[in-house]
């Protein structure tokens, strides 16, 4: 996208080139993570991975949302089962003052709990696409990541 600001988000997105060698290694690791998740859940997920590169320039954000809504077209975003973020932020450690944290909202024993995850190069964050709302706090430095979804088996 062009990175234009709207009410929900401001960021640049691009589809990964699956033929690129650097992406091929990361894709293999994501497929391995999907297999581990299937074993943990005791049920299959759909083959493949849906993924997009996202670059947040300083000032960019993504407001609170869920990645999959119940009752929405299962062939579209409604079929997303688990969301992931892989940070590609470079070697310089991320500081809280840099902004750009992923804020995750969870239900813990009937009470909403917030958790913030700072970007760290290579970190994989995985969460339920339908039940976990989340947002990206405004960033003060470039924040680059691969976001994606493992889908329900249909």
Contact 9, 57 (CB under 8 A): no
Among 81, 48, 75, 58, CA closest to 136 = 58
So what's the pLDDT on residue 27?
87
Supply the CATH number for residue 109's domain: 2.60.120.620
Alpha helix positions (H), the chain = 21-41
Tell me whether residue 122 is in a domain: yes
**pLDDT tens over the chain, length 154 residues:** 444 445 777 888 877 665 677 788 888 899 999 999 999 999 899 888 889 999 999 999 999 999 987 666 666 666 889 999 999 988 899 999 999 999 999 887 888 899 999 999 999 999 999 889 999 999 999 999 999 999 988 7
Tell me whether residue 3 is in a domain: no
So what's the pLDDT on residue 1?
44
Tell me whether residue 107 is in a domain: yes
So what's the pLDDT on residue 138?
97
Tell me whether residue 1 is in a domain: no
Is the C-alpha dihedral spanning 71, 73, 75, 78 positive or negative? Answer: negative
61 contacts: CB under 8 Å, gap ≥ 6: 9, 10, 135, 136, 137, 138, 139
Whole domain around residue 130: which residue ranges? 9-151
* Count of domains forming the chain: 1
So what's the pLDDT on residue 149?
94
**pTM summary value:** 0.85
Tell me whether residue 76 is in a domain: yes
So what's the pLDDT on residue 71?
65
So what's the pLDDT on residue 2?
47
> Tokens in use for 76?
């579209």
């Amino acid at each position: 996208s062009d990175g234009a600001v709207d009410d929900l988000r401001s960021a640049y997105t691009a589809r990964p080139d699956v033929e690129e060698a650097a992406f091929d290694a990361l894709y293999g690791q994501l497929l391995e993570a999907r297999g581990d998740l299937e074993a943990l859940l005791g049920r299959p997920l759909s083959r493949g991975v849906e993924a997009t590169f996202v670059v947040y320039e300083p000032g960019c954000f993504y407001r609170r949302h869920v990645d999959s809504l119940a009752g929405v077209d299962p062939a579209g975003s409604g079929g997303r089962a688990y969301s992931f973020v892989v940070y590609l932020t470079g070697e310089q450690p991320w500081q809280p003052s840099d902004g750009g944290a992923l804020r995750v909202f969870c239900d813990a024993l009937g009470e909403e709990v917030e958790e913030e995850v700072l970007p760290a190069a290579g970190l994989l964050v995985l969460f339920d696409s339908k039940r976990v709302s989340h947002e990206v706090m405004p960033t003060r430095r470039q924040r680059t990541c691969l976001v994606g979804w493992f889908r329900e088996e249909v």
